[in-house]
């Protein structure tokens, strides 16, 4: 029997981060073609969020489909427990060559677990080094590192994770710059200086194992772009106090902000870095946690010493996903992806002023192929959410949109060309104007 308030859903799937009570139908996507998702009714939606920020080349790219099917015909899965496989090895080599300073690659399946692995590496590193009192993870307020327990503990977002508050492990947090300056509040520069000062002070007691932060920008926190030099300064403070630096490049690395390793552009020097999202071009689920030699070496020893990393999943290093990632990274080079990103970034950036001037918009933040349009007022309480309203208005205008809080996220496939980007921004602007 139907429960009170429950609607006759056409879907029996429990959808992620979704108030199921406010949806009575979900558009069923039956095909992906180029930069579009096509639903059952034949409606084409320009993919404005790169299918949750992971798509690079658009949908159904023959090179990627071929790489996956070729690999599937040879070996669809074999574990990395006691064995290895060619694609996992080849991809790890490519990543080490691409991401500077890194020595080993640990695979998992999504960004959240890539970060869980990073936290475990950092805490166990200190235990291996005989300093198990260094066991706290520090992070930036408003950061997001996924929604598994460790990731929630570190990237705690009160609006998302309040129900779990009492069950999370204790993390230390610092307010970070990069958001909209509140009228009468501290300037971004003041927030930055206070953040760095607080880090210096807090790190001095030797209990912090690592600081985790998103690299370049906080994305899920509403596209908050760090001021120039901030990440470099954080990195120096970590080095000075022996705190490991974990950079979360899941959303911002592999080209999203313009560089393969965003930390190179930002001047950060991580001990551990995590990648996911774009790794397979948006075709299969895989992520990677990369560690420096210093970190890796501390896990070596006799079996009985229990120094090895206690982590591993069924599909760790899956060869199908690795084959997709290898072809994806080859295409980055072959097709000069970073040039396309630079061009796309100029197109997106060209709209900043116009969008900022819209009545309903309080701020626009942009870097690379990432834009956050902050609305000055969200949906009134009691009715449909801002996300639903903007999604529906976007759909009427042929674009697939998702908001986070009151921020409309534009996170297109990295290779989206200027004409589609213009269509995307113009469809979004119309959707924001039309939304009730």
Which residues contribute to the annotated binding site for substrate? 144, 277, 312, 402
Residue with tokens 């106090």: 241
What's the min distance (Å) between Cβ of 422 and ligand PLP? 26
Binding positions are 111-112, 144, 248, 277, 312-314, 402
Going by C-alpha positions, the residue among 174, 175, 156 that lies closest to residue 166 is 156
CA distances from 243 to 20, 52, 123, 205, 328 (A): 42, 32, 11, 11, 34
What's the min distance (Å) between Cβ of 16 and ligand PLP? 9
Going by C-alpha positions, the residue among 14, 22, 67 that lies closest to residue 389 is 22
Q: Choose, by CB under 6 A, the member of 45, 56, 115, 410 that binds ligand PLP.
A: 115
Coil, helix or strand at residue 385: coil
> Quick one: 192 or 214, whose CB is closer to ligand PLP?
214
Calculate the CA 122 to chain-centre distance: 20
Q: Choose, by CB under 6 A, the member of 152, 154, 220, 238 that binds ligand PLP.
A: 220
| CA dihedral over 396, 398, 401, 406, signed as positive or negative | negative
Distance CA 333, CA 365 (A): 28
Task: Determine if 374 is a binding residue for ligand PLP (CB under 6 A).
Answer: no
Task: Determine if 154 is a binding residue for ligand PLP (CB under 6 A).
Answer: no
Stretch that binds ligand PLP, among 35-43, 105-113, 205-213, 384-392 (CB under 6 A): 105-113
Terminus-to-terminus CA distance in the chain, angstroms?
Answer: 34
Q: Choose, by CB under 6 A, the member of 47, 188, 248, 271 that binds ligand PLP.
A: 248
Distance CA 96, CA 151 (A): 25
Q: Choose, by CB under 6 A, the member of 188, 214, 271, 374 that binds ligand PLP.
A: 214
Task: Determine if 219 is a binding residue for ligand PLP (CB under 6 A).
Answer: yes
Task: Determine if 225 is a binding residue for ligand PLP (CB under 6 A).
Answer: no
Distance CA 399, CA 48 (A): 6
Stretch that binds ligand PLP, among 144-152, 226-234, 323-331, 402-410 (CB under 6 A): 144-152
234 in Cβ contact with 246 (< 8 Å) = no
Task: Determine if 161 is a binding residue for ligand PLP (CB under 6 A).
Answer: no
Nearest residue relative to ligand PLP (C-beta): 111
Task: Determine if 145 is a binding residue for ligand PLP (CB under 6 A).
Answer: yes
Task: Determine if 112 is a binding residue for ligand PLP (CB under 6 A).
Answer: yes
* Residues 130, 112, 154, 245, Cα dihedral to 10°: 50
For the segment 258-277, give every residue that binds ligand PLP (CB under 6 A): 276
Stretch that binds ligand PLP, among 141-149, 255-263, 387-395, 420-428 (CB under 6 A): 141-149
Helix or strand holding residue 104 (H, E): strand 104-108
| Helix 319-334 with 86-98: angle, nearest 10 deg | 40
Stretch that binds ligand PLP, among 106-114, 128-136, 311-319, 327-335 (CB under 6 A): 106-114
Task: Determine if 327 is a binding residue for ligand PLP (CB under 6 A).
Answer: no
Task: Determine if 372 is a binding residue for ligand PLP (CB under 6 A).
Answer: no
Interface residues toward ligand PLP, by CB under 6 A: 110-112, 115, 144-146, 214, 219-220, 248, 250-251, 276
């Amino acid at each position: 029997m139907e429960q009170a308030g429950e609607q006759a859903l056409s879907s029996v799937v429990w959808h992620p981060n979704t108030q199921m009570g406010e949806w009575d139908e979900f558009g069923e996507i039956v095909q992906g073609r180029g930069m579009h998702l096509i639903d059952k009714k034949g409606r084409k939606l320009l993919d404005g969020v790169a299918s949750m920020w992971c798509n690079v080349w658009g949908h159904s790219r023959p090179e990627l489909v071929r790489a996956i099917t070729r690999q599937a015909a040879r070996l669809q899965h074999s574990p990395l427990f006691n064995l290895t496989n060619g694609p996992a090895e080849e991809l790890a080599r490519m990543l080490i060559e691409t991401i500077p300073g890194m020595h080993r690659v640990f695979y998992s399946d999504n960004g959240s677990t890539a970060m869980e692995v990073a936290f475990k590496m950092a805490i166990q590193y200190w235990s291996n080094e005989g300093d198990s009192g260094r066991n706290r993870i520090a992070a930036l307020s408003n950061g997001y590192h996924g929604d598994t327990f460790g990731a929630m503990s570190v990237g705690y977002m009160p609006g998302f994770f309040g129900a779990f508050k009492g069950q999370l492990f204790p993390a230390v947090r610092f307010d970070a710059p990069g958001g909209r300056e509140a009228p009468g509040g501290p300037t971004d520069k003041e927030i930055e200086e206070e953040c760095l000062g607080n880090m210096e002070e807090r790190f001095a007691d030797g209990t912090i194992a690592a600081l985790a932060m998103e690299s370049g920008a906080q994305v899920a926190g509403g596209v908050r772009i760090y001021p120039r030099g901030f990440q470099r300064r954080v990195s120096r403070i970590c080095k000075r106090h022996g705190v490991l630096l974990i950079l979360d490049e899941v959303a911002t690395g592999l080209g999203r902000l313009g560089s393969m390793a965003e930390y190179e552009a930002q001047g950060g020097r991580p001990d551990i870095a995590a990648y996911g999202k774009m790794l397979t071009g948006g075709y299969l689920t895989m992520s990677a946690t990369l560690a420096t030699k210093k970190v890796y070496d501390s896990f070596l020893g006799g079996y009985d010493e229990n120094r090895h990393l206690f982590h591993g999943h069924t599909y760790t290093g899956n060869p199908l996903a690795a084959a997709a990632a290898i072809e994806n990274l080859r295409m980055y080079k072959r097709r000069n992806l970073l040039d396309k990103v630079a061009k796309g970034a100029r197109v997106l950036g060209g709209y900043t002023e116009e969008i900022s001037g819209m009545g309903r918009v309080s701020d626009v933040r942009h870097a690379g192929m990432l834009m956050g349009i902050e609305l000055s007022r969200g949906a009134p309480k009691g009715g449909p959410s801002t996300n639903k309203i903007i999604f529906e208005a976007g759909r009427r205008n042929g674009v697939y949109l998702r908001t986070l809080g009151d921020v409309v996220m534009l996170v297109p496939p990295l290779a989206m060309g200027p004409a589609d980007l213009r269509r995307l921004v113009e469809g979004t602007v119309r959707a924001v104007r039309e939304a009730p």
